[in-house]
Structure 1
Amino acid sequence: MEWLAPLAETGVARALIAAPTLYLLVNAAHIMGIGVLYGSILALDLRILGLNRSVPLHVIAGFLSRMAAAGAGLAILTGLCLFSVRPVEYAGNAAFLAKLALVAVGLAHALVLHRGIGWRRATTDGHASAALRLSALASIIIWTSAIVAGRWIGFL
């Protein structure tokens, strides 16, 4: 993993190391991105699973999906910045690797889901098929696991 060491010498990494307040702000933005991502996904998945049926699925699905994407973008951007500070250490951390794998699975799951007929049907007529409900449950498990793995990083 030593090939990652030069990342710690980049301008971004040097700035984050030299300015603890900047590191704090980037870390806070990372947490906010995760919050927007997870909050949006959880709200959408719970609605797909049948919670709060008074809110039409076809009305909120697009908005919550876009919010989740914005949260993911912020979390990924700030995560890359934070990674650059200690890339070799993070790359050797089992929890970090688990988090990356779970985020990749979560993103792939979302991409496949949004290309499926079940999603198109849910966003047009509000009907959530059994397969879509199962997918929502899987999504909750995947993203919750990614957050737990992310918290686990500091304990290894």
Structure 2
Amino acid sequence: MQLSEAFQWIEALPLVRMIVSVPGLYPAISALHILGIALLVGCIATVDLRLLGIFSAKLDEALPGLVRVALVGFAVAATTGLLLVSVRIANYASNPAFLTKMAILLIAGTNALVLRLGAGSADVRHGLGTSHGRLAAGLSLALWTSAVFSGRWIAFM
């Protein structure tokens, strides 16, 4: 199966056709996508700012919970994003802003894993006060911000 045939197959799936044909469904999925992004980026930015030492230690106990909420936000954003892309996957596959966003998301996820592995723990608090934690946090802020900007540019390319 060629790539173009795979894209046509995805766009013809009953769920994808329903997203296109049911009034209000696509905008509702889009709104959920934005809410997922808000949860993800809002929580991760808070964690990153604490790792950078900008927020006080009073926040430390909340960090693991913020990471869990960010993961929920990521799950919502990723699921809804897949649904949104499936409607016109062939167009997205050739959109430079979309491809940039996907690359940034891959790097951001890798950065999060490296932070956890470098700290020797899944608990982000182990990165507090370390140069590794500060570097990962600064990179994380730049990457998630870039992903949001790239996502907004998708519609304009």
Q: Same fold (TM over 0.5)?
A: yes
**Given the two structures, how large is their TM-score scaled by the length of structure 2?**
0.90
| Residues 1:41 and 2:74 aligned together | no
Normalised to the residue count of structure 1, the TM-score between the two structures is 0.91
More displaced stretch, 128-137 vs 33-42: 128-137
Tell me, yes or no, if structure 1 residue 52 matches structure 2 residue 35. no
User: 1:31 touches 1:75 (CA, 8 Å); kept in 2?
Assistant: yes
For the residues of structure 2 that align with 1:154 and 1:68, how far apart are their CA atoms?
25
* Structure 2 letter corresponding to 1:135: A
Superposition map of 1:70-81 within 5 A: 70-81=72-83
Q: CA deviation digits over 1:81-119, x for unaligned, max 9? A: 001100000001000000011111111111221222266
Tell me the equivalent position of 1:129: 130
Contact 1:121 1:127 in 2 (8 A): no
CA–CA distance in structure 2, aligned partners of residues 36 and 25 of structure 1: 17
Aligned to 1:19: 22
* Closer/same/farther in 2, CA of residues 49 and 12 from structure 1, 3 Å limit: same
Q: What is the distance in 2 between the residues matched to 1:132 and 1:54? A: 15
- Distance of aligned partners of 1:88 and 1:98 in 2 relative to their CA distance in 1, 3 Å threshold: same
Query: What is the CA RMSD across the aligned residues, in angstroms?
Result: 1.8
SS at match of 1:55: helix
**Number of residue pairs matched?**
154
Matched residue, 2:148: 147
Alpha-carbon shift at residue 53 of structure 1 (Å):
1.0
- On the 8 A contact 2:97/2:151 being kept in 1, the answer is yes
What percentage of residue pairs aligned between the two structures are identical?
37
Aligned-residue offset at 1:122: 5.7
CA displacement 1:59-86 (0-9 Å, x = unmatched) = 1221111111110000000001001100
Structure 2 SS opposite 1:20: coil
Task: Judge conservation of contact 1:118–1:129 (CA < 8 Å) in 2.
Answer: no
Question: Does the 8 Å CA contact 1:38/1:143 hold for their aligned counterparts?
Answer: yes
Q: Which runs of 4+ in 1 moved over 2 A?
A: 115-124
The CA deviation string for residues 109-151 of structure 1, in whole angstroms up to 9 with x for no partner, is: 1122122226668626x84212211110000001100110000
Gaps of 5+ in 2: none
Q: Does 1:97 align with 2:106?
A: no
